[in-house]
Chains A and B, each alone.
Chain A
Amino acid sequence: MVNEEIVFDYEVTGSAVSSIDTGAILNGDVDGWYTIIVFSVQNATAEIGVRYNNDSGANYGRRRVYGQSTGVGDSANTAATYDYLCGVTSGQRGFSVSKLYAKTGAVRLRNNTNIEDVSGTTVTTLFSGGYVWNDTSTNITSMTFMCSAGTALGVGTRVIILRPVTNTGAKTWVEVGSSVLGAAASSVTFSGLDGDVDQVYMYDVQFKGTGGVTQGFIKPNNLGTGIYGLQALRAVNTTVSAERRAGDSTGYIDSNSVTASGSYASFQGIMYAKTGFIRPWLVNFITSISGTTVTSAGVSGGVLNDTSTNITSLVLGTTANNWDIGTQVKLYALRP
């Protein structure tokens, strides 16, 4: 059985470094796809990127759309010397999740969503974009995660790479919680977790609103009181907008997107859960779906400004009214 397993997992310990090299453990022609998860703890103001086979030529390009406070914009580059992951100010945090197609025969493309300059409950910028390594013939056997200046990869910086492989027993996505509502409810709680062991959680929800408008949220350990932040990018028909929130007592998925009674919505997120640092997450969402009309779609980056409380439970819920019978909520963790 082929599933997606961790092939590389490295956390910077001891002192900050300028690069993290996987060594020649990869084989892009065999593996095909890689999922890359990066949590950056910035020890210097710099961009964080990855080089395939340590290619430092100007062979990388990108196009992205971003949300920064209420601003929406374009960001592109056609002569980068590394494949950008996130870039943040010294002392702040970044979080990046991407999918790379690594096989030779064509240029190598990667889709990435990331947040950067995360500090306290402020998520400064959210990016979603496409990236290219303009090399068609060199098999990817290694990746070097690096920074544009200094020793920016601070203690706690984490790099995780997953590949499709016949089950070897390495960590993979394991379903650790699943709930299908048998009665309308305002939340689902998954308990018995250990964020310091699992370290990464992925969750998805598809719900139907009942009895009034609803908005999705996530609350690790049901924590509250001014410790959540958010940067969202969304579209409603032809209008694109962005929003930043800080100091919330609820971990909103997107505070402006509501789902009317009787209509559907979904969201899917991934969170870095290890203590020692703020906990960031990225979420895709669609709301108020009725018939073939998808009223709103977007992506958001959130943060829990708590560095010390081990996550032992996750509450996924709605800020108002209820989710209907049949609502499906699932939680996955990276486990052996």
Chain B
Amino acid sequence: MKQKYESLFQVRPQVVLDWLNAKSQGGNSLNDGMTAYLKTKGATNPATLGEAFNQVLSSLGYTGTLSDKLGAFYKSKTGIGYGPDAERAFYNSPSLDFSNGTPDPITGFKQIADFTSAGSESSMSVTVNSDVDLEYRIDVFNTSTLRYLRIVLNSDTGANYGYQFIYNTAGVVTAARSAVSELTLSNNIRGLGSLTILAPVGFIKTCFDSQQSWLSGTTVNQCGIEGQVWNNTASITNMTMSPNIGNFTSGTRITVYARIV
């Protein structure tokens, strides 16, 4: 049976090499690159790659044979007990962070809210600072058969928002634009929508979204894309999301990401 670290290289070598390159430990040999990386994590004069893995994993508290240690390490990174599934998950997302759980610095997007309705809430809010964050992404799964999602920024309910959409409703393609008093995912009734808000400092705020509305069984009634605007140059400090009437329905899910700063 191959050593687990050897099969790692053979199943997804490019993924591992990409990862090593990103760590400035690449080169022509995966074996040499990985050994060099493990030296940066505490391996001392390892004679083989296996010895390098053994030293680093021992220093992190893993015990038993090298196979035992690697299996436990895979599980800690993939959440799956060692086996083909764990190996596959590991190969495809080589979480080779040997710093004992401390993640590498990342600047991208982080989840700042993840709301699942119990059916009793009339709104949910997120406090933000768009002059710092600059960008938000909102995913919505709406279980309501009647209500669409509205998003109000900084409690502004004046007619300071606008949209332009393209919808395909049961085979009829239409478009329209208007000024309104909210951002919406207006055709995600019993549907799915994703909205991006771009919020440069000192600029009005612009948005893109795509959305659909499911009817029954395998029938999607409506799909569409849309551009929206909040005609205000102030920093967004609050986003309040609510159904257009009444409460959310149970199972409605809203997940919000902000750019990491």
Contacts and interface: CB of A to CB of B under 8 A. Distances in A.
Contacts of B211: 111, 130
Given A2-B111, A295-B164, A130 B200 contact: no
B175 A240 contact: yes
Interface stretch (A43-51, A169-177, A210-218, A222-230): A169-177
Interface in A124-180: 128-132, 134, 164, 167-175, 180
Interface in B69-103: 77-78, 80, 84-85, 88-89, 92-97, 103
B194 A111 contact: yes
Nearest to A174: B108
Contacts of A169: 77, 94-97, 103-104
B53 interface: no
The interface residues of chain A, by DSSP majority, are classed as strand
A336 B172 CA distance: 44
B231 interface: yes
B195 to A, nearest CB: 11
Interface of B: 12, 14-15, 18-19, 21-23, 77-78, 80, 84-85, 88-89, 92-97, 103-104, 106-111, 114, 134-135, 139, 141, 143, 159-168, 170-177, 179-180, 191-194, 196, 198, 200-204, 206, 208, 210-214, 217-229, 231, 251, 253, 255, 257, 259-260
A11 B14 contact: yes
6 contacts: A101-B139, A131-B212, A240-B175, A268-B208, A286-B227, A326-B200
B220 A61 contact: yes
A299 B173 contact: no
Q: Which of B19, B164, B203 has the most CB of A within 10 A?
A: B164
Interface in A200-245: 204, 206, 208, 233-240
Contacts of B191: 109, 130
Contacts of B23: 336
A1 B110 CA distance: 7
B206 A289 contact: yes
Given A76-B220, A170-B93, A204-B135, A294 B175 contact: no
A335 B22 contact: yes
A76 B171 contact: yes
Given A3-B260, A169-B95, A292-B180, 17 more contacts: A4-B108, A61-B218, A61-B219, A63-B212, A63-B219, A65-B168, A109-B141, A174-B107, A175-B259, A234-B166, A238-B176, A239-B175, A266-B206, A289-B227, A291-B162, A294-B164, A299-B225
Interface residues of A, number: 96
A106 B141 contact: yes
A9 to B, nearest CB: 5
A276 interface: no
Nearest to B162: A292
B47 to A, nearest CB: 27
Contact of A25 (B80, B163, B260): B80
Interface in A1-22: 1-11, 22
A335 B108 CA distance: 10
A78 interface: yes
Interface of A: 1-11, 22-25, 32-33, 58-65, 72-74, 76-80, 99, 101, 103, 105-107, 109-111, 113, 128-132, 134, 164, 167-175, 180, 197, 204, 206, 208, 233-240, 264-266, 268, 284-286, 289, 291-299, 326-328, 330, 332, 335-336
Contact of B163 (A6, A77, A294): A294
A23 B203 CA distance: 46
Nearest to B200: A328
Nearest to A64: B223
A25 B194 contact: no
A76 B214 CA distance: 12
A103 B253 contact: yes
A264 B165 contact: no
A106 B109 CA distance: 27
A2 B196 CA distance: 18
A184 B217 CA distance: 53
Contacts of B221: 63
Contact of A130 (B179, B196, B222): B222
A286 B208 contact: yes
Given A7-B92, A111-B193, A132-B214, A23 B85 contact: yes
Nearest to B22: A336
Contact of B164 (A76, A180, A286): A286
A296 to B, nearest CB: 7
A78 B219 contact: yes
Contact of A173 (B93, B95, B109): B109
A272 B223 CA distance: 25
